[in-house]
Amino acid sequence: MRPNHSAIGASRYRAIAGLLACAAALVAPALPLHADEAQPLRLCADPTNLPFSSDSPSQPGFYVEIGQALAQALGRPIAYDWYKSYFGKRTVRVTLLGKQCDAMIGLPRSEDFMGPAVIFSNSFAKEGYALVAAKGQVLGGIDRLRGKRVAVQFASTPQNLLASRDDIQKVTVLSPEEGMQALDQGRADVAFIWAPVAGWLNKTTYNGRYQIELTEGEGLSWDAAIGFAKTSAELRDRIDAVLPQLQKTIGELAVKYGLPSGAPVRFGGAPAAVTTGTGTGADVAQVANVVATETKGDAAAPHDDAVGAGKEIFNGTCAHCHGPDAVQSERKIDLRLLRHRYGDDMREKFWTTVHEGRPTKGMPSWKEVFTDDQFDSIFSFLLTVQSESND
């Protein structure tokens, strides 16, 4: 996590503001001010997440420029709290709910996302996944993908949506960047990836050579909004009041950063993941629909509070690799099969893995990140999703 920076530097800002306040007191009577009038609007943002955000002043990103426009409309300076968004909900807890910043732009406008601790502005955009292909191809719904090689990001809604379609060849990639590369290198006919990143790369790397069609459906698109801690309702209301004035600016910024537009293609339901919008698809926090599975818990059923806490941690951190709500089409990392694989040794295997990691398999150690009580809650959640193997 990077330190909080404002345009003039926090310490210098306080020193100058103090001197000016003293000088003003000597020459003029005090004027009534709002308590937050001279305070910067503190924005949570990822320093390396274009097209959304960047700590580069020459290319700050879609969300950061929206934040700058909001601060100007409110008559306040702006400051940034830089923190990597791939930590998912943990990012929101540490920064926004930890009072390190006032607002986080690009969260999904849904009470299911960390409500009621987080409250939301009105929506300022709709974001989601898109189909990317060479210009001239006729895309459309899922049946139009039959017989094609389709690049899908690992543990994403498109991967889950196409998992049962044997007539569509899936090309699994780890990021939207890899999806565009697969398309450009002829390894895929279509990329079904995170739309804002696809548009940004098409504009900046591929000279606009691809057509991009937005999609909609369960877990494929949602309203993007600005998130606040529940104690910041007054600030939320002030921002809602100025958002309509900025719609033209927001539209121009969307074009500047290559965000796709147009009527979306409708897809049916699938086990769905919803990202925070602050990141590139599956590398950010995910909230999923519950998929019913046969439960094979321990003799004592896990406590509901522990299950809920474990599920939140899992979806905020572990879903990046293991799928939202542990719904994963790749059997090797499908944690719903832990009981099937390890039987009575399931808990011991889980404990060893989360503490020590499996570096050769890409699994880091988490013992410096979470407490043993948090590991217990994750395990309690995993007990509720265990199922038999279907082979």
SS3 track for the chain? CCCCEECCCHHHHHHHHHHHHHHHHHHCCCCCCCCCCCCCEEEEECCEECCCEECCCCCCCHHHHHHHHHHHHHCCCEEEEECCHHHCHHHHHHCCCCCCCCEEEEEECCCCCCCCCEEECCCCEEEEEEEEEECCCCCCCHHHHCCCEEEEECCCHHHHHHCCCCCCEEEEECCHHHHHHHHHCCCCCEEEEEHHHHHHHHHHCCCCCEEEEEEECCCCEEEEEEEEEHHHHHHHHHHHHHHHHHHHHHHHHHHHCCCCCCCCEECCCCCCEEECCCCCHHHCCEEECCCCCCCCCCCCCCCHHHHHHHHHHHHHHHHHHHCHHHCCCCHHHCHHHHHHHHHHHHHHHHHHHHHHCEHHHCECCCCCCCCHHHHHHHHHHHHCCCCCCCC
Q: Which segment, 90-104, 136-150, 180-194, is predicted with the most confidence on average?
A: 180-194
Question: Residue 13: its pLDDT value, please?
Answer: 37
Q: Which of 77-91, 159-173, 273-287 has the lowest mean pLDDT?
A: 273-287
Nearest-10 crossing angle of helices 233-242, 62-74? 100
Find how far residue 105's CA is from the centre of its chain.
11
Based on the number of CB atoms within 10 Å of its own CB, is 223 exposed (0-12), middle (13-18) or buried (19 or more)? middle
Q: Which of 125-129, 201-205, 267-271 has the lowest mean pLDDT?
A: 267-271
Question: Residue 124: its pLDDT value, please?
Answer: 96
CA distance 133 to 68: 34
CA distance 333 to 320: 11
Question: Residue 287: its pLDDT value, please?
Answer: 30
Question: Residue 31: its pLDDT value, please?
Answer: 40
Cβ contact 221:89 at 8 Å = no
Q: Which of 152-156, 171-175, 288-292 has the lowest mean pLDDT?
A: 288-292
Nearest-10 crossing angle of helices 372-383, 346-356? 140
**Average of pLDDT values for 18-25?**
39
The pLDDT of residue 35 is above 70: no
Cβ contact 307:377 at 8 Å = yes
Cβ contact 40:77 at 8 Å = yes
**Report field, pTM of the whole predicted structure over 0.85:** no
Question: Residue 279: its pLDDT value, please?
Answer: 41
Considering only residues 92 and 274, tell me which one the structure prediction assigns the higher pLDDT.
Answer: 92
Which pLDDT band holds residue 142 (cuts at 50, 70, 90)? confident
Considering only residues 389 and 42, tell me which one the structure prediction assigns the higher pLDDT.
Answer: 42
Which pLDDT band holds residue 114 (cuts at 50, 70, 90)? confident
Structure tokens at 29: 């009577």
Q: What pLDDT, in 10s, does the model give residues 227-274?
A: 999 999 999 999 999 999 999 999 999 999 999 999 999 887 544 443
**Average of pLDDT values for 353-359?**
87
Considering only residues 41 and 368, tell me which one the structure prediction assigns the higher pLDDT.
Answer: 41
Going by C-alpha positions, the residue among 361, 377, 359, 387 that lies closest to residue 317 is 377
Q: Which of 29-33, 99-103, 152-156 has the lowest mean pLDDT?
A: 29-33
Share of the chain above pLDDT 90, in %: 46
Q: Which of 14-18, 218-222, 307-311, 355-359 has the lowest mean pLDDT?
A: 14-18
**Average of pLDDT values for 154-177?**
89
Question: Residue 306: its pLDDT value, please?
Answer: 82
Q: Give, in degrees to the nearest 5, the angle at Cα 286 between 360 and 134.
A: 85
Question: Residue 252: its pLDDT value, please?
Answer: 97
Cβ contact 128:214 at 8 Å = yes
Based on the number of CB atoms within 10 Å of its own CB, is 27 exposed (0-12), middle (13-18) or buried (19 or more)? exposed
Which pLDDT band holds residue 77 (cuts at 50, 70, 90)? very high
Which pLDDT band holds residue 134 (cuts at 50, 70, 90)? very high
The pLDDT of residue 28 is above 60: no
Return all residues near 46 (Cβ < 8 A) that are at least 6 apart. 52, 53, 82, 83, 84, 85, 278, 279
How long, in residues, is the chain?
391
**Average of pLDDT values for 137-148?**
88
Question: Residue 203: its pLDDT value, please?
Answer: 97
Question: Residue 170: its pLDDT value, please?
Answer: 93
Cβ contact 89:112 at 8 Å = no
CA distance 148 to 140: 13
Considering only residues 234 and 388, tell me which one the structure prediction assigns the higher pLDDT.
Answer: 234
Which pLDDT band holds residue 340 (cuts at 50, 70, 90)? confident
**Average of pLDDT values for 211-223?**
92
